[in-house]
Structure 1
Amino acid sequence: MKMNFTVLSGLLQSTRGLLLSGYVAFGLSFMLLLQSNSPGLYRFSALLFCLLLLAAHHYLSIRALFDARLLEALAQSEQPLHEVTADLDQSLIQFKLMPQAKAGRGWTERFQGCIRLLKAQACLLFMQYLALICLAFWTLTINYQAS
């Protein structure tokens, strides 16, 4: 079971690369918006959308890194798993990071939640690059029509 903690912790730590890629997508989108000849309201709306995607991506990255560090600490713990789990649940509830109703879940369910978090982050990254591609076509179209 401890190997599951170690493997999933390592996987969740790969979130840094995903986040950096998201920042690249945002930076390129921002540069395209600066070069666009489109009206200000459209540029502002597109920039706001890209910022919201980046903020959501950044939030998920923070959550994934937090989970990675928790899993790493649990893997290194010498206490029995059921005691560590109870302590973890109590701490998360105390700091209002987890609702009381989720206490006592099994580790299979928790691991699946971590994987869903990583998949959600990958989905947001995909959305950022899709927005970049749409902005590129939009900028090319606007600039072509202006000339």
Structure 2
Amino acid sequence: MAATRAKTKRAAQGFTWEGVEVLAYKAEGAAPFKDVTRQVLFEDPHLAAQWRYFEVAPGGHTTLERHQHVHAVMVIRGRGACLVGDEVYTIEPHDLISVPPLTWHQFRATEREPLGFLCLVNAERDRPELPGPQDLQALRQNPRVAAFIRV
């Protein structure tokens, strides 16, 4: 068996890494979001997962969506809040968030600072599902969720 070479990526400035491209979160107009970038930190065929870093600018938010796959999230920068299912949580560095399959979720940064988080997902995964009118009506039954979500 041939030896596999280790791959290393050095931290560059702030929350970027050498050789890792800062990408758009999604194609503009594909889904509602505000001021989010993503970086794919690890994607290896021997590891059936992808490790990504997302950064939400102050006042920004990710898309309200759900998937069949699970997300494992660790906040490493800033503060904000997230919706998971029908609960809104305040989040800060070192918090861990588990998003179960087919669970509505959305992340928001505070108005004062960016929110940065690592996200571990399956390398092969389904496309996001956006809420329809009936889904939004159901989510808005909870006043705290209604006040939180951005669509």
Which category describes the TM-score, using the shorter chain as reference length? under 0.3
Provide TM-score, normalisation by structure 1. Answer: 0.23
Higher share in strand: 2
Higher relative contact order (CA 8 A, sep 6+): 1
Q: Which has the larger radius of gyration?
A: 1
